[in-house]
């Protein structure tokens, strides 16, 4: 939880959401929410832009929280997408009435 709060600068964040596609037969997603972690190694999409997916602090914290691993956070890559964007970026939609709201500009 704290890793996500720090990354997005959102102290009320409960943690990074899992993907929740409405067509899924699973109760929980198997990947990070694409809208918040699109270029992360554990996101549901691989990119075609030759941008390397990053092993972020999100995934390292998840592995560490299982109790099976100790993470070396110096090896993590901070993904710039949404970094420091605040709670509005995390909690509100990325489009409002077909337009990009101020809190999403630049991302």
Question: Which range marks the domain in which residue 65 is found?
Answer: 1-107
Count of the separate structural domains present in the chain? 1
Confidence at 72, pLDDT banded by 50, 70, 90? very high
Residue 13's CATH number? 3.90.132.10
Please tell me the distance from the alpha carbon of residue 6 to that of residue 1, in angstroms, as a whole number.
Answer: 9
Tell me, what's the pLDDT at 47?
57
Sequence ranges of the binding site for Zn(2+): 31
Predicted TM-score (pTM) above 0.85 = no
The pLDDT, as a whole number, for residue 96 is: 74
Measured between alpha carbons, how far is residue 58 from residues 4, 22, 32, 102 in Å?
7, 23, 9, 25
Mean pLDDT of 74-82: 85
Q: Are 16 and 36 in contact (CB under 8 A)?
A: yes
DSSP assignment string, 40-69: BTTSS---SS-PPPB--HHHHHHHHHTTS-
């Amino acid at each position: 939880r704290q890793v996500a709060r720090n990354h997005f600068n959102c102290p009320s964040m409960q943690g990074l959401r899992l993907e929740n596609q409405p067509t899924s037969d699973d109760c929980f997603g198997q990947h990070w929410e694409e809208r918040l972690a699109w270029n992360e190694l554990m996101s549901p999409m691989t990119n075609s832009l030759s941008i390397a997916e990053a092993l972020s602090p999100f995934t390292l914290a998840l592995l560490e929280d299982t109790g099976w691993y100790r993470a070396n956070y110096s090896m993590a890559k901070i993904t710039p997408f949404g970094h420091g964007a605040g709670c509005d970026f995390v909690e509100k939609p990325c489009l409002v009435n077909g337009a990009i709201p101020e809190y999403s500009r630049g991302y």
